[in-house]
């Protein structure tokens, strides 16, 4: 018999760390009708978290929230030990520093009941390293979201060497149950999967600027006004399947694979991210953004994301 309760029985969530990712997770869990307890070591985190949830709630309502969902289900804790009391699942969102994560994991393992699974939002650290020297290491797992978690469905789930297979499957089932799209990463690599795909594309985007192939603005347009539109609908392999016409991926590979293989041979360079290149990138972004602030750009992003998500829901 499993020591972990059924995913349908989860009623209360602990949020450890309420920065950009943690705050977004808190808003999402609240919008799914959960009770949420949160804690952060920063001085002004409580006000920032409440302000974020208030702002995000309008967007979440556009996507639909159950009647039982309310921001008032949030409890702000003064101590880490308090956030682990009475919760059924913990989402950890500490800074991307191995030492910080290891120390925090040891503290969580001491205070959280052994029946509670602890999922880390780490974007690239290895769970095997983070869970070292922890008594109940088998219940620690990576549940990496994409920013902003309260809108983007994807969650990457991967266990460490000591993570129980049952915990990985439980975590995937739980995220999928609450409206996320969880995928299983079969082994540990730096950056997991989606960030590696993103980093590979950005490497080429940076090289395009570094080597004078195109401006920052045109590189952005090359993705946002081109393949990025298709990638929002289907993944890269499925898009290539359609590129083969009625013959599908098999025909696409027979026609285009040799040429693409040749392109890959020219794509071995790594950008030299020195101060000169960084300035070119920053200047290019500032020129494209014009008078728009980061807040303006985030609002524009989220407004479009919501419309895209609603369209995807309606056309399933």
User: Has residue 147 been placed in a domain?
Assistant: yes
Which tens digit of pLDDT belongs to each residue from 66-88?
999 999 999 999 999 999 999 99
Residue 2, pLDDT score: 83
Residue 100 structure tokens: 């910080």
Residue 314, pLDDT score: 93
* Average pLDDT of the residues in 5-9: 96
Number of structural domains the chain divides into:
2
**Three-class SS state of 283:** helix
Do residues 87 and 13 lie in contact, with contact meaning Cβ atoms separated by under 8 Å?
A: yes
Where residue 45 falls among pLDDT bands split at 50, 70, 90?
Answer: very high
Percentage of residues of the chain with pLDDT beyond 90: 99
- Is pTM beyond 0.85 here? yes
Q: Are residues 175 and 285 in the same domain?
A: no
Q: Are residues 118 and 56 in the same domain?
A: yes
Angstrom CA distances, 166 to 14, 163, 292, stand at 21, 8, 47
User: Has residue 189 been placed in a domain?
Assistant: no
Of 184, 203, 223, which residue is a domain's last? 184
CATH of the domain at 154: 3.40.50.720
Which tens digit of pLDDT belongs to each residue from 239-272?
999 999 999 999 999 999 999 999 999 999 999 9
Report which of 91, 81, 86, 74 is spatially closest to residue 17, judged by C-alpha positions: 91
Q: Are residues 163 and 215 in the same domain?
A: no
User: Has residue 158 been placed in a domain?
Assistant: yes
Q: Is the pLDDT at 143 greater than 80, yes or no?
A: yes
Q: Is the pLDDT at 1 greater than 70, yes or no?
A: no
> What is the domain extent for residue 227?
194-314
């Amino acid at each position: 018999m499993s020591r972990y309760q059924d995913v349908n029985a989860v009623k209360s969530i602990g949020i450890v760390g309420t920065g950009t990712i943690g705050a977004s997770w808190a808003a999402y869990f609240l919008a799914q009708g959960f009770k949420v307890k949160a804690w952060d070591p920063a001085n002004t985190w409580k006000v920032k978290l409440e302000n974020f949830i208030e702002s995000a709630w309008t967007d979440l309502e556009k996507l639909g929230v159950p009647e039982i969902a309310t921001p008032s289900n949030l409890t702000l804790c003064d101590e880490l030990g308090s956030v682990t009391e009475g919760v059924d699942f913990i989402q950890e969102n500490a800074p991307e520093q191995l030492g910080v994560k290891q120390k925090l994991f040891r503290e969580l393992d001491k205070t959280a009941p052994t029946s509670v699974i602890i999922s880390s939002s780490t974007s690239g650290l290895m769970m095997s390293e983070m869970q070292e020297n922890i008594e109940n290491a088998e219940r620690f797992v990576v549940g990496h979201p994409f920013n902003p978690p309260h809108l983007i469905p994807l969650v990457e789930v991967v266990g460490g060497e000591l993570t129980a297979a049952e915990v990985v499957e439980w975590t995937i089932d739980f995220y999928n149950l609450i409206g996320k799209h969880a995928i299983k990463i079969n082994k540990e690599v730096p950056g997991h999967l989606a960030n590696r795909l993103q980093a590979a594309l950005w490497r080429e985007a940076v090289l395009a600027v570094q080597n004078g192939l195109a401006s920052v603005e045109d590189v952005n347009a090359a993705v946002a006004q081109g393949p990025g539109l298709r990638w929002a609908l289907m993944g890269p392999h499925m898009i290539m399947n359609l590129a083969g016409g009625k013959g599908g991926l098999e025909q696409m590979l027979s026609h285009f694979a040799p040429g693409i293989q040749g392109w890959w041979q020219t794509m071995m360079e790594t950008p030299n991210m020195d101060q000169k290149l960084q300035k070119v990138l920053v200047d290019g972004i500032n020129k494209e953004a014009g008078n728009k602030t980061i807040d303006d750009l985030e609002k524009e992003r989220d407004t479009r994301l919501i419309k895209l998500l609603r369209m995807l829901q309606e056309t399933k």
